Amino acid sequence: MPSPRSSTIPGVRPTQRGVAAHAGVSTATVSYVLNETPGQSIPVATRRRVLDAVAAVGYVPSPAGRALQRGHSRAVIVDVGDMEQSGPTLGRLLRGMSDELRKHEHVLLITVGGDAHSAHVRSEVSARSVLDLSTLTLGPASSDVISGVIDGTHAGFAYQSLIQLRYLRERGHRNIAFVLSAGPDAATVRTRREHVTAAARELGLPLPPTVRLARDGSAARALERLLETGVTAVAAYDDATALRLMSAVHVSGGRCPDDLAVMSFDDSEAGALWTPALSTLRINAEEYGRRAARLALGRELGPWATAPTAVIHRGST
């Protein structure tokens, strides 16, 4: 075996050949180690010597070259699509996904809307995997493998809506409305509305009317109509919608939960600071994100170690 020797030359970019010379191994061995080539059994001591040589000569593998050898880069693309309207829950999900990918030396790239730009990014990056978050999370349970099962129940969006309405029913409410902010009827909105309806049927409740709150001060009129129809509680689409409605209750001289109980979905900081503080669902979005990352890498998702959803009981209910 040739003696290890340094191949570092000032002004010349280190190469795999230089790493091989420094470590006293073949360039093929260096390639096998750096690319984690399947089917190649490299002794631990040899692998260590190669990695030490990489550090010694300052070799930095070309991302493009490694992607070409592997057939893909160490990037995972997630297109959030309509999920961009999901508030802080989406941010927590992406953080969990990024953290899990980083553990496996991958990076997360985010695109929105599945448009031409997203397609261009996909073709340029040669990603390890591409996930369409809307398709995975808003489709039927059979297509949502990320959410998995908890206590025999699929833990997707339908599960969250069931918990939200069950909480209100357990507090004595039957006439419950589903309230959301006025805006485009995105897939996320349509799916949530369908899940609230299905949850009401499962729980033996009247079908919840859907009320949209505009930003032009019409929340007061919407509140008046709700109370006229005998609604005593609201399942809000998110914390922003819930707080807009609670503001209207306050302006009208009413009180939550005496005149209207409000249960939300997001657990934002603003909801905790309101008076009364907002009852809400906190989705364990970081773990959903970690599960999405494991799916993208072809790894076992595993069972839920902690509950995917927590009820945050506060003064608004």
pLDDT tens digit string along 142-169? 778 888 888 888 888 889 999 999 999 9
Q: What is the DSSP letter of 143?
A: G
Residue type, 87: G
| pLDDT for the residue 262 | 97
Q: Whole-angstrom Cα distance, residue 22 to residue 117?
A: 44
pLDDT tens digit sequence for 286-306: 999 999 999 888 888 888 888
Which stretch of 22-36, 124-138, 189-203, 272-286 has the lowest confidence by average pLDDT?
Answer: 124-138
| pLDDT for the residue 1 | 42
Structure tokens at 72: 């893909």
CA nearest to 107, candidates 72, 58, 55, 70 = 72
CATH 3.20.20.80 fits 141-285+293-312, yes or no: no
Q: Cis (ω within 30 of 0) for the bond into 10?
A: no
User: What average pLDDT does range 254-263 have in this prediction?
Assistant: 95
Q: Whole-angstrom Cα distance, residue 196 to residue 180?
A: 12
User: What average pLDDT does range 82-92 have in this prediction?
Assistant: 73
pLDDT tens digit sequence for 243-253: 989 988 988 89
CATH 1.10.260.40 fits 16-61, yes or no: yes
For the full predicted model, state whether its pTM sits above 0.95. no
Q: What is the DSSP letter of 238?
A: S
pLDDT of 276 strictly over 90: yes
Residue type, 68: L
Give me the chain's average pLDDT, please.
Answer: 82
User: What average pLDDT does range 92-114 have in this prediction?
Assistant: 87
Of 75-84, 170-179, 242-251, which has the strongest mean pLDDT? 170-179
